[in-house]
Amino acid sequence: MITVVGSVREIWRYPVSSLTGESLGRAMIMKTGVAGDRTHALFEASSSNIVNPPTSKKWNIAPRLAARVGDTGIIQISSDGRLWRAFDDPSMLDELEAIFGTRMESKRYGSQVGDAIAKPRYAMQPIHLLSRQSLDALQACLPDSQIDVRRFRPNIVVDLPDLAGARPEDSLLGKEFSIGALRLRGTVRCGRCAFTTLAQQGVPEDRSVLRTLIQDFEKNFGIYCEVLEPGEIAVGDTVSTPVAPEPQRPIVIVGAGQAGAMTAKALRDLGSTQSIQIFGEERHAPYERPPLSKGGDEGKGASISPSHVLTAAQIEDLNIDLNLNSRVVAVHRQTREIETQDGERHPYARLVLATGGSARRLRGLERGHGRVHVIRTIEDAANLNQSLQAGSTLCVLGSGWLGLEIAAAARKRLCDVTLFGRQNRVLARMIPSEVADYVAARHIAEGVKLRLGEVPTFRERPDHIEVTTASGVEKAEHLVLAIGISPNNHLARAAGLNVAGGVVTDESGATSDPDIFAVGDVARQQRPGYPKGICVESWHNANEQPYSAARALLSLPAEPLTPARFWSSQYDMMIQIAGFPDANAQVVRHEGDGRPFWDFGSFAIGINRSQEVHRFAAQLALGNAEAPTRYQASSKSSAQRKGPAEGVDIGPVDAFPEGEIRRLEIDQLGAVAIVQIDQRYFAVNDRCPHADASLSEGFIERDRIVCPLHFAEFDLQTGDPSNAPPGCGRLACYTVERRDHHLFLLF
């Protein structure tokens, strides 16, 4: 049985990307979408650059042109909606040149354009469905605006009077429904961009539309749909849903740590309304693990307060079913179920393994006296915290990041610290010697005894740790083992998945079973330059990889992987790395002593140089690791600045009206966006760190500048991103000084 919930009002097709499309009375809907949709694009003949508003203002006139498929099957273009000519007609090409100021050509995707094959800039979802009710709701918010359906580029416009809500299409998310013989399933909400503000044929420019979508519609307008069964549809066809749909299985996440929680959050951020269940062995809500080893100076007895990834309130708001103290003991792939320690089975539609890793220990060492420690859980950190006081003697085994962080934290507690390392230098397999030696020198200056190249043996006694080295027997009160982790891959291995150290995945996190994904420390991910995969044990990866997995879980197009990022806090040193470090790499450029920055070409390391590392990461994301060498001035002292010591005069105060964004070209910096808010002046790099978009084409919300393309928001003082796509770096900020009636930019 089925229930009719609405009807089709309009059908749209867009033969040429970025141009306005054509309204159809009927259309064939294929697995890939409307037949003939987005098959071509306009390109600049001289550069082969694709016309892609609103990332470049010069292309913003494109939506004023319209494209259709003529009776002979040839794509036609019109600038006024009356005269239509074939896209390759010489007179049409001449008109396009007059409109854009440069020679243009239309090419089919998949054909040769310059030295490359023409590809869509963004992969498209098959069908964008929008309801008349949503259009009416937006019109009610903007009574003075022209809410024309062409602004939003839907494929199917429907009237859904029998579904609840101002945006009734949202109730079709995760559900199957039919339009005639066509069967669809709603997948995710459709995020809209600044294209909605641009002038189109008969539709004026209106930036209030985008502002309202962001403020009142969470940036979403309509939904994307997956085509389950192709079919022909026509205006007037009914929209129907099954009366009693089969209960949808949840997405199950095994592991309630940072990667598991971030996967659940990413699914919600990307629009999923599907049930999500998390199973975790610990009794704590998901928390971050890095702070466990980076604290320690609070004083003996101070409690360890977890830094929650998701609070209880957030878990409630996101409608996530969190099951703590619940250990998963088996994955049954044939029935798509997990089994918990109490023998209960729980079904899944898709499964995400976020089981992390376990601290490595020395076999036969511990005798139950509580003097041997590892740091992996809140309880581990609390036990060590209770054991250390000023004057305590501590041995640390392991000269990697964790061992050094623990040594630094213990020295801040005035403990006597000896650190042993198997290699002849700290961080020997992780970073080049220049950086490692700098870090080691700081530890020595802080009083840590570095015993490198030594492999002691330990015995736990009731009142001390016995340490035997080549030079004799020594004693310590406590021992911390910081010798790495072992991925918790036992569930995957027992289930027959491909395991090689970690659980082997592709770039999205998919395992050898298409219904099972792995994220975080347990995943051995394929990444560029690592065809056999690599386990990326970092806070950044536990935040970013879940978004790649979530996009794949929701059948959304993949986004480029963000550059690897690592950080460590020791004493007052914030050590940050962008890119995968190579211990044998040769330095390309080094600057600074107290706050050094090393550029190794394919990666960079900075100590208290956050801005430079962020810039380097942004350039890595663009495939250009050398560009950051041009932008070092903002972190230097006034004596080292590239700009003049007195700053650059950027004009009279009156030239920068309240709330407006002015774009200026500065010789040493390129394009800069200047903003005045409440007689405060801000200057930021005009280019969005995530996308090829000019921020001066965006708008201001309170003390943030909003990118016109992906709606990423950047704090005008710090450059910190929020509501940004995964991998979005920090925006470069500069200082603006007012002197009498002029403004000066310092960099």
pLDDT in tens, 56-107: 678 889 999 999 998 888 999 999 999 999 998 999 999 999 999 999 999 9
Pairing mode, strands 502-505 and 523-527:
parallel
Average pLDDT over residues 348-365: 93
pLDDT higher than 90, residue 217: no
AA letter at 742: H
- β-sheet bridge partners, residue 339: 330, 345
Element (H, E) at 215: helix 208-216
Average pLDDT over residues 139-155: 94
**733 three-class SS:** strand
Segment 258-279, tens digit of pLDDT: 999 999 999 999 989 999 999 9
Distance from C-alpha of 630 to C-alpha of 626, rounded to nearest angstrom? 8
Average pLDDT over residues 128-157: 94
Segment 628-650, tens digit of pLDDT: 322 222 333 333 334 555 678 89
Could you tell me which residue, 110 or 69, shows the higher pLDDT?
69
pLDDT higher than 50, residue 328: yes
| Tokens linked to 196 | 């909605």
- Asked whether the beta carbons of 65 and 274 are under 8 A apart, the reply is no
Q: What are phi and psi of 12, to 5 degrees?
A: -130, 145
Nearest CA to 183 out of 213, 228, 139, 123 is that of 228
Burial 207-237 (b: 16+ CB within 10 A, else e): bebbebbbeebebbbbbbbbbeebbebebeb
Contacting residues for 735 by C-beta, under 8 A, at least 6 apart: 683, 745, 746, 747
Distance from C-alpha of 189 to C-alpha of 171, rounded to nearest angstrom? 11
Lowest mean pLDDT among 188-192, 363-367, 587-591, 606-610: 188-192
For tokens 């703590």, the residue is 324
What percent of the chain has pLDDT above 90? 54
Q: H helices then E strands: how many in the chain? A: 12, 56
Distance from C-alpha of 549 to C-alpha of 552, rounded to nearest angstrom? 5
Segment 431-485, tens digit of pLDDT: 999 999 999 999 999 999 999 998 899 999 999 999 999 889 999 999 999 999 9
Distance from C-alpha of 467 to C-alpha of 36, rounded to nearest angstrom? 75
Distance from C-alpha of 425 to C-alpha of 584, rounded to nearest angstrom? 13
- β-sheet bridge partners, residue 699: 706
Q: How many CA atoms lie within 13 A of 517 on its CB side?
A: 28
- Asked whether the beta carbons of 290 and 539 are under 8 A apart, the reply is yes
Contacting residues for 334 by C-beta, under 8 A, at least 6 apart: none
